[in-house]
Amino acid sequence: MKPRVPPPVIWLLAVLLMWTLHRWVPIAQLIMSPWTWAALLPAAIGVGIIYDANVRFRRAQTTINPLNPQLASSLVMGGIYHITRNPMYLGMTLLLLAWALWLGTLSPWIVVALFPFIITGLQIIPEERALEKLFGETYRDYRKRVSRWIGWF
């Protein structure tokens, strides 16, 4: 299975779905202003993680194109990649979490909860297969040491 939809497009669709749910099916108001400003913390962390991951890819001079992971020229394992194998997707998830906090209603949280599973199925698993073919035992050892997301997940 080869990834077909760029992850930023999947993320943007998630953002739009969250807004739609907030607007048309708000369920309950969980967070009121000024507490919605707490969204800045996970947003800043998410942006920082994505930035660091991109910088590391550029330094390694390897492809950042998620639709063609088979074109990777090196396996990036340092920095944030020492904590999570998928920092860009973790950063996207944190940005969705921030958006849900900002919106303040319950219904957008459904998307936040589903996004990691969707991106794992559509993108991460195909990427992992491609990287294992390219880097073999080195990638398998890396997978044993570093979680797909963080911790047990």
Domain enclosing residue 141, as ranges: 38-145
Is the distance from CB of 95 to CB of 42 less than 8 angstroms? yes
Instruction: Report if residue 54 sits inside a domain.
Output: yes
* CA nearest to 150, candidates 68, 104, 73, 93: 93
Instruction: Report if residue 153 sits inside a domain.
Output: no
Residues with Cβ within 8 Å of residue 90, at least 6 apart in sequence = 46, 49, 84, 149, 150
Instruction: Report if residue 84 sits inside a domain.
Output: yes
Instruction: Report if residue 24 sits inside a domain.
Output: no
Instruction: Report if residue 30 sits inside a domain.
Output: no
- Identify the pLDDT of residue 40: 97
Which sign does the torsion angle of CA 98, 102, 105, 108 carry?
Answer: negative
Tell me the mean pLDDT per 10 residues along the chain, length 153. 86 98 92 91 98 95 89 92 96 98 96 97 94 96 95 65
* CA nearest to 99, candidates 109, 91, 90: 109
Nearest-angstrom CA–CA distance, 30 and 32: 7
- Identify the pLDDT of residue 43: 98
Instruction: Report if residue 47 sits inside a domain.
Output: yes
| Domains held by the chain: number | 1
- Identify the pLDDT of residue 17: 98
- Identify the pLDDT of residue 120: 95
- Identify the pLDDT of residue 33: 87
Instruction: Report if residue 70 sits inside a domain.
Output: yes
- Identify the pLDDT of residue 152: 62
- Identify the pLDDT of residue 151: 72
pTM summary value? 0.93
Which sign does the torsion angle of CA 6, 78, 53, 75 carry?
Answer: negative
Instruction: Report if residue 15 sits inside a domain.
Output: no
